[in-house]
Structure 1
Amino acid sequence: MQKPIQPRDQIVKSAKGHQLQRGNSFNMEDSALSRHQLLFGWVDYLLFASTLLVSLLIGVYHAWRGGNSTSEYLMGGKSMGIFPIAMSLAASSISGTTLLGTPADIYLTGTMYSWMPLAMFLCTPATGYLYLSVFHRLQVVSANQYLELRFNHIVRRIASVLYIIKQLFYMAIVVYAPSLALKQVTGINVYLSVGVMLGVCTFYTALGGIKAVVWTDTLQIFVMYGSFITVLVKGINDAGGLGTVWQRNLDSSRVEFFNVDFDPTTRHTIWSVIIGGFFYWTSFYGVDQSIVQRFLAMPTLHRAQISMWCNLVAAAGIVGFACFGGTVVYAKYFDCDPLTSKVIEKADQIMPLFVMDTVGNLPGLPGLFVAGVFSGALSSLSSGLNSVALIVLEDFIRPFFPSIEDQTATKVTKGVAILFGCINFGMVLLVAQVQTILDATLSFNGAVNGAMIGVFTLGMFVPSANAIGAGFGMLISFAAMMWLGVGSQIAKSRGLRHNQLKTLSTAGCASFNSTITAISQGLMKGSEDEAPFVIWRISYLWYTMIGMLIVLILGTIVSFMTGRQNPRLLDPKLLCKFSDCFPSRKIGDSPQNNKTNNIELD
């Protein structure tokens, strides 16, 4: 049974009577977080509810202001501005799991992951000037529409099915993981928060379309920034300043930036984070429907490219703050680890615990942080629902009903968004039964992302590739990467571990006086004598690149074996040239230029 909310100035007691003063360092003697929930006050609930209410009102406003056309609903009438699209891209890039999982990873393994913003920077010109230039020249509505133009409708349908499946799993974890972690420190029931999040998001997405999604994302990115910066500033002050934060991380060997190990089984190295991260983010920004849809909602290619660079600043900034947050959290708990002392059960609960321990005595600030985490989840969820609705309409309904009326198509799209919102709640119930869902989801996303960017890259950069090669390469890549991902999950359940976990100390805890490692506490069990098959130990950061290479290699070979495509018969607009990286200023600068390149598709 849940305990009643207590005033912030009171002492919270554990079931055994040990006292824990909110706002100071924890005395973790024989305590467990499940025994003393650190609950919200009314100001926190008010601030959190206000964020959800504003999101709803934005959806209502754009439903009232917008037209009934499908173009207006799905593409914003191709009149979206640079700033809201850039902020929407950034918000969609960052989910609640990023805000919770990244600090936890830095806390456990050190700062190698901090190279990820560089990978995001490197992928920006590749996506903005190569892949995006092709989509804008063709003026397609669905990204997968390109695959039918380049290959055939079968390849397009395969890609669409894989995308929908991926989005269903991804959206489920996006809403479940933050709810599970935050429940431990706020007392909010997991399924209640999931239901509220899905209800609010489905409502404003179905009602207001892409404009509602974009403008709520813009609001939510500011909430994310505000909440994270506020908590970090207070945490740094409590730790004694930046110098203390740096020194405590340095003393524990967490400050590590130049691991150049070429072993692909080493989880985080310069190569895996920068190169592997480059392919992951390129697959996301380059060919993911939710991102391509936003780019195509802008009137010109030039504006879309500017929005991509603006997005880089906002998205990389959030990732950077999340990485830095991990070092601040460690500086707080450097001598009394909450995992070892059983205050929390999972690493992804450490950031919410840190928030309640740091600003829990300041009314409204915990609510601001929770609003930021839920904003990250809402932005990813709304993007997923809107993009899935477009995929279903353009790839599965319109091809069979080409003369469908515009108003009817809009209603169908809204119905699809609502349907998938309901299905997503069922998926959350399924996800809750899986023990290794976070790692499993990352592996599954890597499997699909590799196959997707592989088939688009094959079509754009290999003129001789044909439909048989593209379809065969995509399916084999997906199957192989799923085998790799599932195999790695089985190996982890049997004790697979990596050697980058840092030392955790309980020397400052009342009942603990030893320094131990995360491995010895069962976070990563197993022994070297039980080392699994080497391929299952490959770092998850390489999954997208491996999947892409499988498509390119097999797709090219099979195309030559089955009668390769004659490049002379291809529309030049379907191919990508590296000269597109240095476009003239006139390309895409006016709507008239785009009209000459439009391909009209039903």
Structure 2
Amino acid sequence: MDFQFSWIAEFAAFACMLGISISIGVYYGFIERKQNTITDYLLGGKHMAVFPITMSLIASHVSGITLLGTPSEIYVYGTQYLVVAVINIFIIIIVIYVFLPVFYDLQLKSVYEYFELRFNRDVRAVASFMYAISLVLYIPVVIYVPALAFNQVSKLNVHTITPILCLICIFYTTVGGLKAVVWTDAIQSIFTSLSVTTVIILGIYQVGGIGNVINANSEGNRLEMFNMDPNPFLRNSFWTVSIGVIFSWVYHLGMHPGAVQRFVSLPTYSKARKALIGFAIGMVVVKLLTGLIGMLMYTKFKNCDPIMAGYIESDKNLLPYFVSNVATNYPGLTGLFISGIVSAALSTMSAELNTVSGTIYHDFIVKILGVKMSDLAGSIIMKVTVVIVGIICVTLVLVVEKLGSIQQMSHVLGSITHGCLLAAFILGMCFPKANSRGVLCGMVVSFLVMSWITYGTEDAIVNDKLKFVTKDLSVTGCPVNITLHNITDYSGLIRLNNDVYAAPDVWKIFTISYMHFSTLGPLIGIVVGLIISIIFPSDQQVDPKLLTPFVRRIVYPNHQIQKDKFNGIKSDEYILVPQNIKS
């Protein structure tokens, strides 16, 4: 596959994005030197605006995995995944009415401080440990994807570009704190948006218009949104995608430290809610646009699948290959595209580094070790933490490239750790009778069970004992002298449903839809947590502010809501106060 990479035009676009990121870090780290307290470093001094926070949230959650993975998903399996655009409405309602009021009310520097307030220090330590490990394993995946895309179009070695990208990200995250992260995210999102929009416009032009795109995908049996079959073992259906996405994104929007950190950095609750709504709308737009790119790729390659023709190795190479086709006559476009992919990765990495530094400082150094430090010392320690974690992540890229599918790997990490954390937060906020013993048991059992399921599923896939049925692909329009590659062989396997083939010795649980991995984890944790809490009850009194508002009204009907101020900051925050009732 011969990608054209004009170094003058392409590198100019790429260097521009990196230069802006460095400049922002220098400005907030050395010119506007206001990052010397913990609040400044983590929360931007509580003076952030809605727009940059919203753009930062979108940018930090749109990684290269999204930009490369969603188009490939649509190309190979059809448009059923795009139902996530509709489901986001329900996710926002859940987050606004269940989780956001609690976190904004508490104004915690670490999200996991909630567990110590609600349960005890042990629950907080376990939750923080799981989160820290998941990030250290996830960040190398995030940065490896754009490095791989850059390698495909420029021929530079992955291990040459990866350290450069990571070091730049570590630099502006370390010296600039949250303000640098937020504003670089906002600027980088512009590069990402320009690259995606340009590719879509050129793609539509080359395939003859949006009408041809719809017709081609309809004829190729790819237009599918409402497959209402309730079978949980189908790879994609309305129910598997909807339920799985709800559990997954409630965690990412409602209790992920990176998201909560940005929400509480806003001066009022109403602004935090606006940022959340804007974030959800932005994610819908991103999903639809990347889905459209997948439909464009199928329209262009419907008669000559580049994977079967041997032009590329796998579906993760589809988007760079597509861009190289549509951008051949437009110098600079490939560089813009790579800038978009790299921007998405840097945004995610910087957000995670900034967040994990706060988590490690507050939940391990301060609480577990019992070390008390000044704000300046704490800020310095968090900056050093960013550097150390960043270096570890650069090193782990060497491991990541030896593993299997990036999409599968990132999903496995999420299903193992996010499910048990989501279960713990739900137990704490929605079930007053849940206690520390129940939550710890629920988290551990969820973690172990999901580790077993994901290992069994991955092992079956690697050993060709579990295969998924793709939509029809063709090579009838390819040159006659090609040699077909990557032909799926289902011999020796049993067809379980329209989506899945499996060997007879594969356990049924290992064939469940990958979308339900994010469903099983929290359900297991909640059920186990409630059972243990009932068997071993405690007489712990729960502070009403630690419960979600609708539970407060049920458990504490004799309390009313009153506006107040938090640490002298004008806000719309609500606190609970006892109501005087005459007998």
Letter in 1 for 2:178: I
Shift of 1:129: 2.8
Shift of 1:498: 5.0
- Corresponding residue for 1:549? 523
Q: Distance in 2 between matches of 1:538 and 1:73?
A: 43
Shift of 1:203: 0.4
- Shift in Å at residue 290 of structure 1? 1.0
Change (3 A) 1:512 1:115: farther
C-alpha distance 523-448 of structure 1, shift in aligned 2 (>3 A): farther
Distance in 2 between the 1:166 and 1:375 partners?
Answer: 22
The corresponding residue for 1:208 is 176
Q: Which residue of 2 aligns with 1:260?
A: 228
Q: From the superposition, tell whether residues 156 and 523 of structure 1 become closer, same or farther in structure 2 (CA, over 3 Å).
A: farther
Q: CA–CA distance in 1 between the matches of 2:296 and 2:512?
A: 29
Aligned counterparts of 2:570 and 2:358: Cα–Cα separation in 1:
26
Residue 51 of structure 1 is matched in structure 2 by 17
The answer for the alignment partner of 2:508 in structure 1 is 534
In structure 2, relative to structure 1, the CA distance for the partners of 1:264 and 1:156 (3 Å cut) is same
For residue 231 of structure 1, the aligned residue among 168, 188, 199 is 199
Deviates more, 1:74-83 or 1:126-135: 126-135
- Out of 539, 556, 576, the residue aligned to residue 548 of structure 2 is 576
Look up the SS of the partner of 1:503 in the other structure. coil
1:115 Cα offset (Å): 0.6
Partner SS, residue 473 of structure 2: strand
Structure 1 residues 314 and 553: alpha-carbon distance in aligned structure 2, compared to 1, 3 A threshold: same
* One-letter amino acid of the counterpart of residue 591, structure 1: I
In the alignment, does 2:255 pair up with 1:281?
no
What residue in structure 2 maps to residue 86 of structure 1? 54
- Find the counterpart in structure 1 of residue 188 from structure 2: 220
Distance 1:509 1:588 in 2: 68
| Farther-moved stretch of structure 1 (410-419 vs 116-125) | 116-125
Alignment check: 8 A CA contact 1:166 1:448 kept: yes
With over 3 angstroms needed to count, the CA separation of the structure-2 counterparts of 1:414 and 1:555, relative to structure 1, is same
Using the TM superposition, give the Cα deviation of residue 508 of structure 1 relative to its aligned residue in structure 2, in angstroms.
Answer: 0.7
Relative to 1, partners in 2 of residues 1:236 and 1:595: Cα closer, same or farther, differing over 3 Å? closer
Residue in structure 1 matching 2:7, options 37, 41, 52: 41
Gap change, CA 1:126 and 1:509, over 3 Å in 2 = same
2:267 counterpart SS class: coil
Mapping for residues 288-327 of structure 1, pairs under 5 Å: 288-327=256-295
Residues 1:503 and 2:469 aligned together: no
Identity %: 34
Name the counterpart of 1:563: 537
On the 8 A contact 1:506/1:513 being kept in 2, the answer is no
- Picking from 129, 132, 148, the partner of 2:100 is 132
Equivalent residue, structure 2, for 1:421: 390
User: Displacement, 1:435?
Assistant: 2.5
TM score, norm. by length of structure 1:
0.89
Specify which of 247, 250, 274 is matched with residue 215 of structure 2.
Answer: 247
- 2:177 pairs with 1:177: no
> Corresponding residue for 1:490?
459
Q: Distance in 2 between matches of 1:457 and 1:422?
A: 34
Give the SS at the match of 1:309.
helix
Distance 1:358 1:580 in 2: 56
Residues 303-341 of structure 1 deviation map (CA, whole Å, 9 limit, x = unaligned) = 100100111121211111011110001111111110011
- Give the direction of change, closer, same or farther, for the CA distance of 1:313–1:593 in structure 2 (3 Å limit): closer
Q: Is the 8 A contact 1:41 1:363 kept in 2?
A: no
Kept in 1, the 8 Å contact 2:269–2:571? The answer is no
Q: Indicate how the Cα distance of structure 1 residues 462 and 565 shifts in structure 2: closer, same or farther if over 3 A, else same.
A: farther
Contact 1:302 1:588 in 2 (8 A): no
1:25 alignment partner in structure 2? none
Per-residue CA distance 1:525-571 (angstroms, 9 max, x = gap): 862172421100111211122111111111111112122344xx211
Q: In structure 2, what is the Cα distance between the partners aligned to 1:587 and 1:244?
A: 58
CA distance in 2, matches of 1:58, 1:447: 35
Cα deviation for residue 497 of structure 1 reads: 4.3
Q: Which amino acid aligns with 1:75?
A: L
Equivalent residue number for residue 159 of structure 2: 191
Query: 1:390-442 deviations in whole A, cap 9, x for unaligned?
Result: 00111011223453011111110100000111000111111112134431221
Separation in 1 of the partners of 2:20 and 2:490? 42
**Secondary structure at the residue paired with 1:505?**
coil
1:148-177: CA deviations, max 9, x gaps?
100101110101110011111111100112
Q: Secondary structure at the match of 1:169?
A: helix
Distance change >3 Å, CA 305–CA 421, structure 1 → 2: same
Unmatched runs of 5 consecutive residues or more in structure 2: 495-501, 554-559, 577-583
Counterparts of 1:169 and 1:356, CA distance in 2: 31
For residues 524 and 383 of structure 1, the distance between their equivalents in structure 2, rounded to whole angstroms, comes to 42
| Alpha carbons of structure 1 residues 196 and 120: separation in structure 2 relative to 1, 3 Å | farther
Aligned positions, number: 558
Deviations 1:5-55 (A, max 9, x none): xxxxxxxxxxxxxxxxxxxxxxxxxxxx2xx34334311101101101100
CA offset at residue 584 of structure 1?
A: 8.5
Letter in 2 for 1:540: Y
Shift in Å, 1:353: 0.6
- SS of 2:202's equivalent in the other structure is helix
Q: CA RMSD in A?
A: 2.3
Give the match for residue 374 of structure 2. Answer: 405
1:445 to 403, 406, 414: 414
Q: Is the 8 A contact 1:463 1:565 kept in 2?
A: no
Check the 8 A contact 1:461/1:577 in 2, yes or no: no
- Note closer, same or farther for the CA distance 1:580–1:171 as it changes in structure 2 (3 Å cut): farther
State the secondary structure of the residue aligned to 1:553: helix
The answer to whether the Cα contact below 8 Å between 1:95 and 1:379 also exists between their aligned partners in 2 is yes
- 432, 438, 444: which one pairs with 2:401? 432
C-alpha deviation, 1:384, in angstroms:
0.8
Q: Tell me how far apart the structure 2 counterparts of residues 240 and 141 of structure 1 sit (CA, whole Å).
A: 52
Alignment partner, residue 26 of structure 1: none
Matched, 1:334 2:302: yes
Distance 2:402 2:227 in 1: 36
Give the conservation status (yes or no) of the 8 Å contact 1:497–1:526: no
Structure 1: gaps spanning 5 or more residues: 1-32
Determine if contact 2:453/2:510 at 8 Å carries over to the other structure. Answer: yes
- In the alignment, the residues of structure 2 paired with residue 310 and residue 587 of structure 1 have an alpha-carbon distance, to the nearest angstrom, of 26
Label 1:406 to 1:513 Cα distance change in 2 as closer, same or farther (>3 A). Answer: closer
How far apart in 2 are the matches of 1:489 and 1:40? 40
> Does the Cα contact within 8 Å between 2:101 and 2:549 map onto a contact in 1?
no
Which AA in structure 1 matches 2:407? L
Change (3 A) 1:594 1:410: farther
Looking at structure 2, the residues matched to 371 and 107 of structure 1 have their Cα atoms a distance apart, in angstroms, of 23
Query: Partner residue of 2:121?
Result: 153
* Kept in 2: contact 1:496–1:524 (CA 8 A): no
